[in-house]
Amino acid sequence: MKIVLFGPPGAGKGTQAKSICNRYSIPHISTGDIFRRNIAENTPLGVEAKKYIDKGHLVPDDVTIRMVYDRLEQEDCYNGYLLDGFPRTVKQAEALQYFLSSRKECLTTALLIEVPGSFIIDRMTGRRVCLACGASYHIKYNKPKVQGRCDVCGSDLIQRKDDTEDTVRERLEVYETQTAPLIDFYKSRDLLRTVDGTKAINLVFESICKILGESYDNIKK
Ligand code: ADP
Ligand code: ADP
Ligand code: ZN
């Protein structure tokens, strides 16, 4: 299973990624989480990435691609992985195809979670996240059992600095111009599958499992 998960900010990528990775026992590779961890630890990569992330812009392709290559070369990726939030540009998608083809591998599926812009501000401003494990919650739609605490690891939940209304609008714009072209990129390679991300979290997960089951069967044939 080698899955790419993409969609606008707030589509539910992180939320669904956790469930998919649990079910298929594959590592969850979220470029956003890796950047945030580096920012928290004040590494050179974190210092560089922060300049872009706080404004809602993309971190440059060369930095991001190098970071993902390093991650995909680790041993736990041998039997598959889920990429959440990468690729986000056509250049990144080409770099991933290059990485795969140089190893005679291919993607199982590129899964688009579709959610109209009108849902996004509400989802993002109500989002609360756990920096320790990457779990994401919502003050109305996905409350933690104990307010302000992560169900999975017990750490404090925070509101991301880039989840303000203005920055979210900027990120939506960036999505439309730089990431939406991936729809055609993957469609033309017959890898694109789409789910309606406006449904309840468990229903979205059901649709995803159905798609992944079918894609996996196709590859085995
Ligand atoms: P969301 O889950 O809200 O879509 P992420 O946590 O995936 O956001 O990413 C947060 C920020 O990290 C992005 O707005 C961007 O600045 C940066 N980022 C994450 N992934 C990438 C990528 N593949 N290329 C460039 N920048 C990225
Ligand atoms: P992304 O990683 O795509 O930016 P998240 O998974 O972090 O998105 O979800 C964004 C916010 O919306 C979170 O607060 C999350 O709890 C909430 N959310 C996710 N999926 C749904 C859904 N299907 N319905 C309602 N809220 C959702
Ligand atoms: Zn946690």
Report pLDDT for 217.
67
- Give the pLDDT confidence of 162-219 residue by residue, as tens digits: 999 999 999 999 999 999 999 999 999 999 999 999 999 999 999 999 999 887 666 6
- The pLDDT of residue 215 is 73
Full DSSP string of 164-208: SHHHHHHHHHHIIIIITTHHHHHHTTT-EEEEETTS-HHHHHHHH
Ion ligand 3: residue ranges with CB closer than 5 A: 130, 132-133, 135, 150, 152-153, 155
DSSP string over 49-87: HHHHHTTTPPPPHHHHHHHHHHHHTSGGGTT-EEEES--
Contact (Cβ atoms closer than 8 angstroms) between residue 120 and residue 168: yes
Report pLDDT for 220. Answer: 61
Between the CA atoms of 33, 42, 77 and 23, what dihedral angle is there, to the nearest 10 degrees?
A: -30
Share of the chain above pLDDT 90, in %: 95
Cβ–ligand 2 contact at 134 (below 6 Å): no
Instruction: Check residue 188 and give its pLDDT.
Output: 98
* Spacing of C-alpha 158 from chain mean position: 19
* pLDDT of 154 above 60: yes
Handedness of CA 68, 84, 184, 97 (dihedral sign): positive
Q: Select 2-26+79-116+168-220's CATH number: 2.30.110.10, 3.40.190.100, 3.40.50.300, 3.40.640.10.
A: 3.40.50.300
CA of 1 to the centre of ligand 1 (A): 22
Across the range 97-125, mean pLDDT stands at 96
* Average pLDDT rounded to a whole number, residues 98-115: 96
Among 58, 94, 124, name the best residue to mutate to test ligand 1's pocket (greatest count of ligand atoms within 8 A of Cβ). 58
Closest ligand 2 atom, CA of 198? 23
* Atom of ligand 1 at shortest range from CA of 84: 7
Residue 69 has pLDDT above 90, yes or no: yes
Stretch 60-85: mean pLDDT:
97
Kind of pairing, strands 2-6 and 28-30?
unpaired
- Of all ligands present, the nearest one to the C-alpha of 153 is 3
Q: Is residue 196 within 8 Å of 207, Cβ to Cβ?
A: yes
Domain extent listing, the chain? 2-26+79-116+168-220
* Any atom of ligand 2 within 6 Å of the Cβ of 136: yes
Q: What is the mean pLDDT of residues 58-65?
A: 98
Q: What is the pTM of this model?
A: 0.96
Among residues 136, 124, 129, 130, the alpha carbon closest in space to that of 164 is found at 124
